[in-house]
Structure 1
Amino acid sequence: MTLKQIYMWLAITISVVVLAIVGITSWYTVDESEQATMLTFGEAGEDITSPGLHFKMPWPVQEVRKVSKETFSLDFGYNQDDKSGADQIRMITGDENIVLADLVVQWKITEPSQYLFHSADPKQILNNATSASLRGIIGTSKIDEALTSGKAEIENDVRELLKSLIADYEIGISIIDVKLQEVDLPNEEVRTAFTKVTDARETMNTKINEAKKYRNQKYEEALGEKDAIISRAEGDKVARIQKAKGDVAQFNALYEEYAKSPTITKDRLVIETLEEVLPEAKIYIMNDSGNTLKYLPLDPSKSKTVAPAQGGSNNE
């Protein structure tokens, strides 16, 4: 074989290798669960999130790095199965008590280029940011809040603080959710003491609530009695006013009759008064100017009588 033939076969071989590399590296696929970023001469460019077949410049001009779209979980805090306590992470509350907290962070990669090239270990950064967020919020909370009713608020505060830190770090990660699994005391003796304090506080609150309920009940009863008294007084006032108006009207009517016939009205009033004072007596009105003694037909069965007047004739 001549030298010219050797060069020719070498050129053909190199051409075939180059064509093979171009053909193999000029296309790539992205699965449904993947996303990718394009590197041009080692510099990160656009991110590819749509699945399917894609084409690019052959290697080494362009290169593709793929990452997952799935949601990851980061468990941070103490391990309940660790009886020795070697791996337990202790935190100090705002009122200087020690607690153990267990947190689960759900996250995913949303910016592949940032995740791949903005930090050497984004997972470690996420772990450190989670630790800082949880410790910071626990450090401003009281132990009662951390162990009882304040867990939801602590969880929300940790979530917001962690999202803010991750956004500032620009490591291509988004926080999906933060779940505060458990907050506990460091040992059994402390748990027992705290349980007794909690029980005493609950008993105190129960007694206070019962006292408030009794006070409210008596207060409502007093208000009801007050309203009843006021209502009766109002009714009595109206009755008295109406009675007074009636008496005034009656008096005015009598006065009008009296003005017309004073003598007749006077006699009628006297007779009506006697009938009211002596309802069982027989009354004889004598209109006689004579001096003859008159005998009245008294009823022996009646004890109440009126003495006869002197003189004149008698009319019944």
Structure 2
Amino acid sequence: MTLKQIYTWIAIGVAAIILVTVGITSWYTVDESEQAVILTFGNAEESITEPGLHFKMPWPVQEVEKLSKETFSLNFGYSQDDKSNKKQVQMITGDENIVLADLVVQWKIVDPAKYLYQSQDPKLALNNATSASLRSVIGTSEIDEALTSGKAEIENEVREMLIGLVESYNIGISVSDVKLQEVDLPDAEVRTAFTKVTDARETSNTKRNEAEKYRNEKYEEALGEKDAIISRAEGDKVARIEQAKGDVAKFNALYEAYRKSPDITRERLVIETLEDVLPKANIYIMNDNGNTLKYLPIGQQQPPQPAPTQGGSNDDE
């Protein structure tokens, strides 16, 4: 074989390799759960999110980096299975108490180019932002809030602060949710003491609620009694007004009769007054010389008894 033939076969081989390389590296596929970024001589140009078959310039002109669309979880804080670990993340509350917090951050990649080239380690940046947000919020909260009723508010504040930090970093990450799993005390004895304090506080709240309920019941009863008294008073008022009107009408009628016949009316009033004052008395009307004119059976009178007969029987003697 001549030298020319050797060169010819080498050229054919090189061309075949180039053609195979071009054929293999000129297309790529993106799955439903993936997103890709095109690199032209190492510079990120565009992000591909549509699934399917795509074409590009062959290697080494263009390359493809594929990243997942799934939602990732970042666990920050202590592990509930190993609370005795001395490397647990401890933080100080606003009232200078030490607590352990367990936080889960849900995040996803929204810009592959920035995720790959804007930061050297975007996961570490997210972890540091989570630590800063949680420590900042816990540091302004009291231990009672962190361990009991204030967890939801702490969670919301951490979420808002973390989202703001990640957006300012511009590293192609989006935080979708933050869940505060647990806030606990680092020492068993302290936890026991705090549990007793919490139980005492709950008992105090229960007693206070019972007292408030009793107060409300008595207050409602007092209001009902007040309304009943007012209603009775209004009834008595109306009755007395009507009675007074009747008395006025009666007096006016009596005055009219007196104006027409004063003597007769005067005598009538005297007799009626005597009947009221002495209801059981026998009333006699006398003339001026003291002799009885007439027996008037006014009031309850006894029937007259028969007079005894003259003389008696021999038995009476």
Per-residue deviation, residues 1-36 of structure 1 (Å, max 9, x unmatched): 444444433333332222222211111100111110
- Is 1:170 paired with 2:170? yes
- For 2:160 and 2:296, locate their aligned partners in 1 and report how far apart those are by CA, in whole Å: 113
Please tell me the residue identity of whatever aligns with 2:73: S
Give the match for residue 10 of structure 1.
10
**Aligned equivalents of 1:235, 1:172: Cα separation in 2:** 80
Within 5 A, what are the aligned runs for 1:1-316?
Answer: 1-82=1-82, 84-281=84-281, 283=283, 285=285, 293-294=291-292, 302=301
253-262 or 127-136, which moves further after superposition?
253-262
Residue 260 of structure 1: how far off its partner (Å): 3.1
Which stretch shifts more, 1-10 or 17-26?
1-10
1:177-214 Cα distance to aligned partner (Å, 9 max, x none): 11111111111111122122222222333333333333
Q: C-alpha separation between the residues in 2 aligned to 1:80 and 1:297?
A: 115
Structure 1 Cα separation of the partners of residues 217 and 275 of structure 2: 56
Letter of the structure 1 residue corresponding to residue 90 of structure 2: R
Q: 1:209 to 1:83 in 2, by over 3 A?
A: closer
- Unpaired runs of 5+ in structure 2? 303-317
Shift of residue 292, structure 1, vs aligned partner: 9.4
Farther off after superposition, 121-130 or 82-91: 82-91
Deviations 1:64-84 (A, max 9, x none): 110011111111111233364
Residue aligning to 1:306: none
Instruction: Kindly indicate whether the alpha-carbon contact (under 8 Å) linking 2:284 and 2:296 is maintained by their aligned counterparts in 1.
Output: no
Letter in 2 for 1:199: D
CA separation in 1, counterparts of 2:90 and 2:31? 42
| d(CA) in 2 for partners of 1:203, 1:76 | 34
Give a deviation string over 1:25-59, Cα, whole Å, max 9, x none. Answer: 11110011111011122211121111111111222
Using the size of structure 2 for normalisation, the TM-score is 0.85
Structure 1 pair 13/64, CA: closer, same or farther in 2 (3 Å)?
same
Aligned-pair CA distance for 1:112: 0.8
Distance 1:71 1:261, change over 3 A: same
Distance in 2 of aligned mates of 1:27 and 1:42: 18
In the alignment of these two chains, the number of paired residues is 302
Pair 152,201 (structure 1): closer, same or farther in 2 beyond 3 Å: same
AA aligned to 2:26 is S
Change in Cα spacing, 1:294 to 1:187, as seen in structure 2 (3 Å) is closer
8 Å contact 2:283–2:296 — kept in the other structure?
A: no
Shift of 1:94: 0.6
- Give the secondary-structure state (helix, strand or coil) at the position aligned to 1:213: helix
Structure 1 residues 103 and 294, CA gap change in structure 2 (3 angstroms): closer
Superposition RMSD in Å:
2.8
TM-score w.r.t. length of structure 1: 0.85
| Counterparts of 1:297 and 1:98, CA distance in 2 | 112
Alignment CA distance shift 1:298-1:5 (3 Å): closer
CA distance in 2, matches of 1:32, 1:292: 136
- The 1:280–1:49 alpha-carbon spacing in structure 2 relative to 1, beyond 3 Å, is same
Q: Following the alignment from structure 2 to structure 1, what is the Cα–Cα distance between the partners of residues 254 and 185? A: 95
Q: Which residue of 1 aligns with 2:313?
A: none
Instruction: Return the letter of the residue paired with 2:136.
Output: G
Residue 225 to residue 195, structure 1, CA distance change in 2 (3 Å): same
Q: Contact between 1:29 and 1:51, CA under 8 Å: does it hold in 2?
A: yes
Tell whether the 8 Å contact from 2:284 to 2:292 is kept in structure 1 after alignment.
no
Decide whether aligned partners of structure 1 residues 35 and 17 sit closer, same or farther in structure 2, where only a CA change above 3 A counts. same
Cα 1:78–1:297 change in 2 (3 A) is closer
Q: Which moved more, 1:70-79 or 1:10-19?
A: 10-19
